[in-house]
Amino acid sequence: MSQSVPAQTFSDAATGTPAGTPIVNTAALRYDLGGTTGSTTSNTVSIIVAERLDVALVRDGQGAIVVTPRPLAVPFTLTNRDNGNESFVLAASVSPGAVALQALVIDADGDGLYDPAKDSAPVDGRTPQLSPGQSIKLLAIVVAPAGTAAANATLTVTARSTTGSGQTGSAYAGMGDGGGDAVVGRTGAIATVSVPLGTALAGPALFKSQSVRAADGSQNAVRDAVITYTLEARFSDAVTGARIVDPIPDGTVFVPGSLMLDGAALTDGADGDAGRFEAPGAQAGTTQRGGIAVALGQVAAASVHTVQFKTKIQ
């Protein structure tokens, strides 16, 4: 069974010299000897351009999603950042189990709407082969079973190069296009996106998501990689005294100057703005790394406020 990918999903992204391309070179030597001009050539050397394994996976949209008993499609875009033809292994999960994942499918017409007659799960959990720079649309179908109490959950979707993944520079001998090597690129040939979910809101709700960026540009959670935490507070009713606190996880340190509220920077000290970084022991529940606190105060009904901060893995 094969799957086709709609033509309109091709990207304009430049990917460099195609994998498997032979690079062939022969030099020439010209000379004069005894009044006669002569020439000779060197031996010919050649090399096959290696396949660079890279992938990008992004969510189409932002913010937390409220899930109801009616199935809901969460859209994503997957792009082959490789310089060769590559398929990708897909995986999706929801944790904890307040929300059910019905399916992860390829959006055949790219309209962001789920049509069971056209949108099917990838065969053997893999996408079709994508050419360099090509993108396809994915849909994760989620639902909250009837009678589910208000709760938060996280949808996680991962795409990994079928040929292999790992640390940047890892090589797979002879497994690239045209018989050349395949080499893991900056993304580690794997991409993961987390989407905050919630069931029907009953009062305020807080959703948390995270993203990782290493020094080499990958999403690998290695030493000195930076984790960006996003906290989205949703209020169905007007409240007073609202305050968000979050401990800095053990194994990481707070990145000074990274605290933000609704896209505006906050200072780390206890001063006139709404945020602060609190030293260990200054607030209940903090770890030995301390924590952040943001005072929202009086909040209007039907409001959404977003807090972001960063930590660095030690």
Model pLDDT for residues 251-262, shown as the tens digit of each residue: 999 999 999 999
Query: Could you tell me what percent of the chain has a pLDDT over 70?
Result: 91
**pLDDT at 158 (0 to 100):** 97
Percentage of the residues of the chain whose pLDDT score is greater than 90? 66
Share the mean pLDDT of the chain.
Answer: 88
Residue 149 pLDDT level (bands cut at 50, 70, 90):
confident
CA distance 45 to 47: 7
Residue ranges of E strands in 26-125: 28-33, 36-41, 45-48, 51-53, 55-59, 65-66, 72-80, 88-95, 100-106
The pLDDT of residue 9: 45
CATH number of 50-200: 2.60.40.10
pLDDT greater than 60 at residue 283: no
CB 308 within 8 A of CB 260: yes
Give the residue-averaged pLDDT of 102-114: 93
Q: Angle at CA 14, nearest 5°, toward 131 and 10?
A: 40
With residue 34 as reference, give the H or E element that holds it. Answer: none
Residue 12 binned pLDDT confidence (cut-offs 50, 70, 90): very low
Average pLDDT for residues 151-178, to the nearest whole number? Answer: 94
- Mean per-residue pLDDT, 147-165: 89
Give me the residue spans of the domains in the chain. Answer: 50-200, 202-314
What is the predicted pLDDT for the residue at 3? Answer: 59
- Phi, psi torsion values for 72, nearest 5 degrees: -125, 135
Q: What is the pLDDT of residue 245?
A: 94
Spatial contact of 237 and 203, defined as CB atoms under 8 Å apart: yes
Q: Supply the pLDDT for residue 284.
A: 45
* Per-residue confidence (pLDDT) for residue 204, from 0 to 100: 83
What's the CATH fold of domain 202-314? Immunoglobulin-like (2.60.40)
* Per-residue pLDDT, 11: 43
pLDDT grade for 200, boundaries at 50, 70 and 90: low
pLDDT digits (tens, 9 = 90+) for 215-256: 888 888 889 999 999 998 888 778 999 999 999 999 999 999
pLDDT at position 15, please?
63
CATH topology match: 50-200 vs 202-314: yes
More confident residue, 6 or 91: 91
User: What is the pLDDT, as a whole number, of residue 4?
Assistant: 54
Surface-to-core class of residue 40, CB atoms within 10 Å of its CB (0-12 exposed, 13-18 middle, 19+ buried): exposed
**Tens digit of each residue's pLDDT (9 = 90 or more) over 299-314:** 998 788 999 999 999 9
Return the C-alpha torsion angle 180, 52, 161, 120, nearest 10: -100
Distance, in Å, from the CA atom of 230 to the CA atom of 194, rounded to the nearest integer, reads 11
